[in-house]
Amino acid sequence: MSAATATASVATGASASGPVTLSALDLAALLCSRVCHDLISPVGAIVNGLEVLEEDKDEETKTFALELIKKSARAASAKLQFCRLAFGAAGSAGAQIELGDAEKAARGLIEDGKTTITWNLPRELVAKNRAKLLLNMLMVAVGTIPRGGTLTVDPIGTGFRVTAAGLNARVTPATAELLSGSAAHAVDAHAIQPVYTGILARDCGFTVAAVLEDEAVVVTAR
């Protein structure tokens, strides 16, 4: 990928057909928008909790506010740790990431009582973009089970397989198309997730796809 353009080719703004062309500036802006969107809720809850602590004298209410602040701070921290690995530079060019660190970040963000992860990958160092690819595949997969379920992570050759099993698991045609780098849909901060996943996969020399198999969605990169 050059500094000027991301070769995922994605159309922004109006809908278009064919390959998507996305400038490096648009890619950066959309990824930042996605991160900000994910952080707004827990950070806003922290601010609200602090306001209650300052204004309310009732001890029960203040205890509730403090618990809200603690819970929201943990959620914000988990999101930031995940985003640092999934979207950040994670070191200089050629850097590697330990898959155990990727697992820890994924569990911290995704496991919430409704969704669990079964991780069947060895602890080993991999190229940073392979680790980033895996984390973004997990985000694509978790989006296919909005009511929760199980994400199973397996090796498949030199690539990865993420199986999302849950009630009414489904993958939209738009997601499948955006992963492949072509779509007849506008790309916004929500759609950037599969687009970026596709960019990472192609940078690693993989083909990424998401399909429905036996009532589970399977996301593969190989």
pLDDT of residue 5 exceeding 80, the answer is: no
In the prediction, which pLDDT does 91 show? 55
The most confident of the ranges 31-35, 130-134, 184-188 is 130-134
Secondary structure E strands in the chain: 5-6, 22-23, 96-98, 115-119, 125-127, 149-156, 159-165, 208-213, 216-221
In the prediction, which pLDDT does 189 show? 80
In terms of Cβ atoms closer than 10 Å to its own Cβ (0-12, 13-18, 19+), residue 60 is exposed
In the prediction, which pLDDT does 120 show? 98
Per-residue pLDDT, averaged over 155-162, amounts to 96
Looking at every residue in the chain, the average pLDDT score rounds to 88
**Are 4 and 24 spatial neighbours (Cβ–Cβ below 8 Å)?**
yes
pLDDT digits (tens, 9 = 90+) for 60-110: 998 999 999 999 999 999 999 999 999 987 555 568 999 999 999 999 999
pLDDT of residue 128 exceeding 90, the answer is: yes
Both tokens assigned to 183? 């779509």
pLDDT digits (tens, 9 = 90+) for 109-121: 999 999 999 999 9
pLDDT digits (tens, 9 = 90+) for 169-179: 999 999 999 99
**Cβ-Cβ contacts under 8 Å for 139 (sequence gap 6 or more):** 86, 193, 197
CA Rg, the chain, in Å?
19
Mutual angle of helices 59-86 and 128-142, in 10-degree steps? 130
Taken in order 22, 28, 32, 33, the sign of the CA dihedral is negative
Among 204, 114, 112, smallest CA distance to 158 is for 204
